Structure 1
Amino acid sequence: MKHVPALDSLRGIAVLLVVFHHFKWLGIGWIGVQIFFVLSGFLITSILWEQKDRRLRHYLGRFYWRRILRIFPVYYGFLFAVSLAYLSVGEPVAFGDLAPWLFSYTYNFARFFEPEMTWRYFGHLWSLAIEEQFYLVWPFVVYWVSKRSFLRLCIALVMLAPLFRWTAGLYFLAHDYPPVRLAQCVYTLPTTHLDAFAVGAALSVMDSRKLPSPRSVFLGVFIALTLLGFYQWGLLDPHSRVASDFGYPIYLS
């Protein structure tokens, strides 16, 4: 896939939104995470589609090897450095419990089993865990589904994702999860963000000749969804079941 400078700009905006959110400068900065998921769906599907004519073994091998080279050195280098710090000073104590989740890319599930099993230095890794879980499944979907059926599948995922969130919310509610923890658990499920990935994936296989210019699409979608995002932000409690089910990924998915 050719380099697209406009996507770098969008990625930069997403980074700033997330940073502003963590510094509590922008309440809706979490939208940046949704932008990342949409971009991942777009980029990963584009890469996979270009390799789809290869045999499955070479198709998967090439994809996963590139992902390993791109992500593993930095990710495990960070964890290794923290491990050395933990062994040298014995703090934070929680790292020993967190390590299995972190090293297996399942950190997004840690809060389900132990609400206090989090540490601020790893707070950003839940989304990377979801990305890796997406990488495990999506190459097979792209390889075995035709282009026409693929677009239908993406539309179906966009429509079903709110149902997945609603069902997960009911499950955690039935198990007496407090409201804030319930919202956090629903939000860190990989199925919660299927619509964001699916929107990006659908855009990657659409015929660009049948679409308006990228600038027109970007401006129109940005304005419309910004207004919709602010509308929901003003009317919905961010920890309510309605917001959890339908509001979180609405901005860019």
Structure 2
Amino acid sequence: MTTPINPKNYIEGLNGIRALSAFLVISAHWPGYLLSLKFGWIGVNIFFVLSGFLITRILLQEKKDTSLKKYLANFYYKRSLRIFPLYYAFLGVFSVLIILSLNIPSLLNNETFKGGYNAVTKDMPYYLTYTYNLKINFRYLLDLGDSSNQFFGHLWSLAVEEQFYLIFPFVVYFASVKRLKHIIIGILIICPLIRLWSALYGIHVFEDRYWLGEFIYSNTFCQADALATGAALAVFNFKLVKPYLFLFSMILICLTVGIINLIALRKSGYFLVEGKSLGFNFPAFWFVQQTKYLFVNIRAFYSYTLINVLAVSLILPFVKNKPIFLKFFKFKFVDYLGKISYGIYIFHNPIIAFLIIALQSFGLNNLDEHPILQVFTFILYLFVVIGISHLSYQFFEKKILYLKHKQTPMLAS
């Protein structure tokens, strides 16, 4: 087995993968059917796998000849500088915008606006503590009320990451490389089994099947294998002979499984899954209706794993210095989109929310009735999201990131 990769060695192309993932998520959330990719939610899992790889790589390097105090202080200090400032600034600014918008009478009956207002007034403690996914997980069991909203609903994924990284740095520090490999393999086996048990048990117990799909999608124990898949890339010495063959094989496998599921769902009279999803529609819908096909009913068991391996087929070639589509992924604009992808992810949903509210104020409730307008609106939307993310990165995030190179305050004192 090889020594873990030095995190100081910059890997070209990974920013491009971030950009691709961000675009997939944006497309999944786009309100018009014409320009939406219904399988775009897989971008979140690609983010998870990439994050697991990069963070584990850093942790393995930093634990060498370092005390636990210094190791943890360095990790959490740098992690906090990257994640917290923009996250909390975003919550503050958009909460204020929503509160100020109460002065506009026409918004008071707008469902999109009301969702945002309820999020600010009822769910803010969950957002502030990175526990919003727990609100989703337990809303049905504890009667916590509906948690869906267009403004902040996407923040569940950041909650999953932060919860995982509360524990994983300790695992990396105290475990030998050999033991860490065993732990990662254990996570890769146990998480799909948790999803399988949740699916088989849940469909017979819970009436709210949509919530069951949401639960599995947003639960840290159900998604931890995505982060562990990335960790495996940092720990194991995977051989890669033909990167393009690996990628296209995974695409073919995913397409085959998805289309088989799609055909089976249609034969069962289930039409909540669109053809554009290629059989990978939003996971919250996976349990709404059961079919006579067991492999369809338990697709949460294997579909997430397939997507995680698909993410590996994108990332591993760059890790092994056998990059694929390098001209695209290292193209300056694409690379820069990857650099600002955190901002793109943070801002994309609330901007969609304001866009929906604006369109509805003009009586445009269905963009698909106006295809030319939809294309124009989508292009304008991309300009706005990228523009705001660019300004955020250049004038806010970048200035804070410079502090990462300074000594951790806890250690300096």
| Fold equivalence (TM over 0.5) | yes
The answer to whether structure 1 residue 145 and structure 2 residue 201 are counterparts is no
Bigger Rg over Cα: 2
Could you list the runs of 5+ residues in structure 1 that have no partner in the other structure? none
Kept in 2, the 8 Å contact 1:108–1:129? The answer is yes
Q: How does 1:42-57 map to 2 (within 5 A)?
A: 42-53=53-64, 54-57=66-69
The answer to whether structure 1 residue 60 and structure 2 residue 72 are counterparts is yes
Q: Distance in 2 between matches of 1:250 and 1:176?
A: 26
1:18 is matched with which residue: 22, 25, 40?
25
Q: Distance in 2 between matches of 1:17 and 1:72?
A: 24
Residue in 2 that maps onto 1:212: 240
Kept in 2, the 8 Å contact 1:42–1:200? The answer is yes
Kept in 1, the 8 Å contact 2:53–2:227? The answer is yes
Partner amino acid for 1:55?
S
The answer to whether structure 1 residue 3 and structure 2 residue 7 are counterparts is no
> RMSD in angstroms over aligned alpha carbons?
2.0
Residue in 2 that maps onto 1:80: 92
Kept in 1, the 8 Å contact 2:131–2:159? The answer is yes
Q: Distance in 2 between matches of 1:220 and 1:146?
A: 33
Deviation at 1:225, TM superposition (A): 1.6
The answer to whether structure 1 residue 233 and structure 2 residue 250 are counterparts is no
Residue in 2 that maps onto 1:71: 83
The answer to whether structure 1 residue 248 and structure 2 residue 304 are counterparts is yes
Q: Distance in 2 between matches of 1:123 and 1:88?
A: 20
The answer to whether structure 1 residue 104 and structure 2 residue 134 are counterparts is no
Q: Distance in 2 between matches of 1:134 and 1:181?
A: 22
Change in Cα spacing, 1:128 to 1:177, as seen in structure 2 (3 Å) is farther
Change in Cα spacing, 1:115 to 1:222, as seen in structure 2 (3 Å) is farther
Partner amino acid for 2:240?
P
Q: Distance in 2 between matches of 1:204 and 1:197?
A: 11
Partner amino acid for 2:28?
H
Residue in 2 that maps onto 1:188: 218
Change in Cα spacing, 1:177 to 1:100, as seen in structure 2 (3 Å) is farther
Normalising by structure 1, what TM-score? 0.90
Partner amino acid for 1:80?
G
Residue in 2 that maps onto 1:133: 163
The answer to whether structure 1 residue 32 and structure 2 residue 43 are counterparts is yes
Q: Distance in 1 between matches of 2:93 and 2:252?
A: 43
Of all paired residues, the percent bearing the same amino acid is: 34
Q: Distance in 2 between matches of 1:179 and 1:159?
A: 25
Change in Cα spacing, 1:66 to 1:147, as seen in structure 2 (3 Å) is same
Kept in 1, the 8 Å contact 2:49–2:308? The answer is yes
Kept in 1, the 8 Å contact 2:199–2:298? The answer is no
Using CA pairs under 8 Å that are at least 6 residues apart, name the structure with larger relative contact order, 1 or 2.
2
Cα-to-partner distance string for 1:202-246 (whole Å, 9 max, x where unaligned): 1112347xx336xx33x2332122112112222235504412222
Moved more, 35-44 or 153-162: 153-162
